[in-house]
Amino acid sequence: MPSKHNPLHYLRQHNCHQPVYFSGVTPDYNSNSLGTFERYINGYKRWLTDTADAMDKLIQKNKKTNKKVASFSTDAAEYFHRIPASILSSKWFKEEHLKHYKSTDFKLHLTACLNEALVNWEKNTAEALRLKSGESSTPDLGLPVGLSCSAFLGNVVLDSFDKVIGKEIKPAYYGRYVDDITLVMEWHEELTDPQQVWQWIRKRTDRITTAKSDATHSPTGNSDVLFRVYPSELNPSNQDSDSDALYVTFKSNKTRLLVA
């Protein structure tokens, strides 16, 4: 018989016909509700709508001057799989997000437990995949897709990208939903195709570089665009300064440019 303290049992007994979902209107957290975390598709639809509204607003604004408007959209390649499962124990994460906590703080203990859970998940899942496939090795799995903390960590990783775009690029509108990104800005002659847009952005920050795509993934020979999450600055005198760096990869051939 299920315990009366089990949240699912509580739902069955009290909320089976009228479940209480987190509305986003109030900051209240309902630990007994399966709807505490918003569905991905709802936020994604808002991201699409906000982008369309921003572009329409800029088009209306530029009617008198006949200036064209550009919408630039992209998404990170294999985003969650390329974030290390051990990111919570990385030097960068500790320095950026944990240095203000005392060693006895519960948040540090919780972070350590979560880090161990993520690392063990990757290790055990990789072993299961090896046994199933019969192969001697498997690619890094990174963070588990669909886990609430993965979405949170995904936002943490790209927070520095948000700041670079806002400070250095200054688009009329910038929207990001997890790893889906859109910029809306006035068009000019340097924005002729997606690769040219990336080159234009590269001129404004040294944290974006390019690397030749794997031919199996990009038969056209397009370059991957790499954003360096950490360190924020590389030390040229230290040959190992890039060894622990974390990059987010964007595919040029999956980047879209719309001009209106």
Supply the pLDDT for residue 150.
92
More confident residue, 125 or 17: 125
> What residues contact residue 3 under an 8 Å CB cut-off, 6+ apart?
9
Supply the pLDDT for residue 11.
36
Kindly report the pTM of this predicted structure.
0.77
| H-helix or E-strand spanning residue 41 | helix 40-61
Supply the pLDDT for residue 258.
94
Supply the pLDDT for residue 104.
81
| Nearest CA-CA partner of 69 in 245, 258, 211 | 258
Share of the chain above pLDDT 70, in %: 78
Q: What is the pLDDT of residues 242-255, one digit of tens each?
A: 667 899 999 888 89
Q: What is the mean pLDDT of the chain?
A: 82
Supply the pLDDT for residue 238.
58
> What residues contact residue 88 under an 8 Å CB cut-off, 6+ apart?
111, 112, 114, 115, 118, 153
Q: Is the pLDDT of residue 224 over 70?
A: yes
Confidence of residue 80 (pLDDT cuts 50, 70, 90): very high
Amino acid identity for residue 249 in this structure: T
Q: What is the pLDDT of residues 10-56, one digit of tens each?
A: 333 333 344 433 344 555 655 565 666 677 788 889 999 999 999 99
Q: Which two tokens stand for residue 132?
A: 């199933």
Distance between CA atoms of residues 187 and 192, nearest Å: 9
Confidence of residue 205 (pLDDT cuts 50, 70, 90): very high
Q: Compute φ and ψ for 3, nearest 5 degrees.
A: -70, 145
